[in-house]
C-alpha cells in the first residue's frame, strides 16, 4: 500500500487460490519525504505482530499462508505528526464445480441414484456429504449406514454419493462440502423422488375418460332400445 492521505483508513482485498508466501507493505507517498514516523504497528485483528523495516519509509511483514488460520485482516498503522492506516483482507477462494446443480435430480421409489460434486481447479483435503433435515444439515456417515449410502472419493477432486432403495423420505436437498487448506466450499443438489403412479396419472385420466364415454354410449343404446320397444 502507498499511503498518502492522513487520518483515513484504506483497505485492500487479497484473494489466494493456494498456499503461498505473502509480503504486505505500507509505504509513505513521496509528498511526505521528511515526515518523521515515531510508531509503527502491525496487527492481525487485535493481535500485534512484528514487522520488518525494508527502507526508510516502508514497513513490511512476511507471511507464510498454509491454512485458513493465517487468513484474516492485517493492518498497519503509522503514527508521527500525522497518522496513516491500511487494512489488508486475506481470503481464500475455492469454488468446486457442482455437476447437475441447476436442475433437480429426478428418480423413483426403490431406485438407486448417484449425485456428483467436483472441484475443477483444486484438490480438496476431504469431502463431506450432508442431507437437509428441516433447518439442519446432518453429515452422512456411509460406514454406519452402508445399506443406504455409498460415498466414493476417487479421484480426489471428485466425490459421488450413491443413495440406495429410494423412498419419499429421501426427497430434498443435499450438500457436498470440500475442505481445502485455505477454507471450505459447499455445493447444493436437489433430489426429487416420485412414486410409480406419477407417470401413470395421464394414462389413468385418459382411461377414465374412455370408460365414462363408453358408459354414456352404452346407457344411450339401452335407453334407445327401451324406447323403441315401448313404441
Buried b (16+ CB within 10 A) or exposed e, 172-189: eebbbbbebbbebbebeb
Residue 57 has pLDDT above 90, yes or no: no
Same-domain status, 189 and 112: yes
Higher pLDDT, 142 or 53: 142
pLDDT at 172: 92
Higher pLDDT, 48 or 211: 48
Same-domain status, 18 and 87: yes
Same-domain status, 117 and 36: no
Residue 96 has pLDDT above 70, yes or no: no
Which residue, 50, 66, 92, sits at the end of a domain? 92
Which residue, 73, 92, 111, sits at the end of a domain? 92
Looking at every residue in the chain, the average pLDDT score rounds to 82
Cβ(117)–Cβ(187) below 8 Å: yes
Which residue, 92, 121, 149, sits at the end of a domain? 92
In which domain, by residue range, is 30 found? 2-92
Give the count of beta carbons closer than 10 Å to the beta carbon of residue 6. 14
Residue (of 103, 193, 114, 191) closest to 158 by Cα position: 114
Q: Determine which of 23-37, 83-97, 107-121, 156-170 has the lowest per-residue pLDDT on average.
A: 23-37
Distance CA 56, CA 84 (A): 16
Same-domain status, 76 and 102: no
Average pLDDT over residues 20-48: 82
H or E element that contains 222: helix 197-230
Q: List pLDDT tens digits, range 178-188.
A: 888 777 888 88
Same-domain status, 109 and 25: no
Give SS3 for 8.
coil
In a domain, 207, yes or no: no
Same-domain status, 151 and 72: no
Question: 80: domain CATH number?
Answer: 2.60.40.10
Give SS3 for 217.
helix
pLDDT at 122: 77
Distance CA 155, CA 204 (A): 46
Same-domain status, 140 and 115: yes
The set of residues, in sequence order, having a beta carbon less than 8 Å from that of 123 and lying 6+ positions away, is 156, 157
pLDDT at 120: 75
Residue 165 corresponds to which cell in the numbers above? 432403495
In a domain, 183, yes or no: yes
Same-domain status, 102 and 147: yes
In a domain, 83, yes or no: yes
In a domain, 39, yes or no: yes
In a domain, 48, yes or no: yes
Average pLDDT over residues 110-128: 88
Same-domain status, 86 and 102: no
Residue 198 has pLDDT above 60, yes or no: no
pLDDT band with cut points at 50, 70 and 90 for residue 16: confident
Residue 64 has pLDDT above 70, yes or no: yes
Same-domain status, 57 and 132: no
pLDDT band with cut points at 50, 70 and 90 for residue 195: confident
pLDDT band with cut points at 50, 70 and 90 for residue 82: confident
In a domain, 218, yes or no: no
Q: Determine which of 91-95, 97-101, 164-168 has the lowest per-residue pLDDT on average.
A: 97-101
In a domain, 214, yes or no: no
Same-domain status, 68 and 146: no
Same-domain status, 28 and 105: no
Q: List pLDDT tens digits, range 143-157.
A: 889 999 999 988 888
pLDDT at 181: 78
Average pLDDT over residues 166-194: 89
Residues in the chain: 231
pLDDT at 152: 92
Query: What global pTM score does this model have?
Result: 0.58
Q: How many domains does the chain have?
A: 2
Give the count of beta carbons closer than 10 Å to the beta carbon of residue 23. 10
Amino acid at each position: 500500500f502507498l499511503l498518502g492521505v492522513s487520518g483515513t483508513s484504506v483497505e485492500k482485498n487479497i484473494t489466494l487460490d493456494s498456499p503461498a508466501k505473502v509480503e504486505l507493505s505500507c509505504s509513505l507517498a513521496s509528498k511526505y519525504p521528511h515526515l518523521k514516523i515515531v510508531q509503527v504497528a502491525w496487527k492481525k485483528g487485535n493481535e500485534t505482530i512484528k514487522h520488518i523495516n525494508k527502507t526508510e519509509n516502508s514497513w513490511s511483514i512476511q507471511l507464510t499462508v498454509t491454512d485458513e488460520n493465517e487468513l484474516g485482516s492485517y493492518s498497519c498503522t503509522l503514527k508521527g505528526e500525522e497518522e496513516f492506516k491500511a487494512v489488508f483482507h486475506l481470503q481464500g477462494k475455492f469454488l468446486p464445480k457442482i455437476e447437475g446443480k441447476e436442475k433437480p435430480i429426478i428418480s423413483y421409489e426403490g431406485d438407486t441414484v448417484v449425485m456428483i460434486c467436483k472441484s475443477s481447479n483444486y484438490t480438496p483435503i476431504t469431502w463431506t456429504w450432508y442431507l437437509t433435515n428441516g433447518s439442519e444439515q446432518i453429515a452422512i456417515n456411509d460406514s454406519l449406514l452402508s445399506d443406504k449410502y455409498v460415498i466414493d472419493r476417487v479421484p480426489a477432486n471428485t466425490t459421488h454419493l450413491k443413495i440406495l432403495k429410494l423412498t419419499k423420505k429421501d426427497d430434498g436437498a443435499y450438500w457436498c462440502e470440500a475442505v481445502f487448506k485455505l477454507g471450505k466450499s459447499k455445493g447444493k443438489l436437489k433430489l426429487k423422488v416420485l412414486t410409480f403412479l406419477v407417470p401413470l396419472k395421464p394414462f389413468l385420466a385418459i382411461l377414465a375418460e374412455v370408460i365414462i364415454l363408453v358408459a354414456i354410449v352404452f346407457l344411450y343404446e339401452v335407453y334407445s332400445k327401451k324406447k323403441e320397444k315401448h313404441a
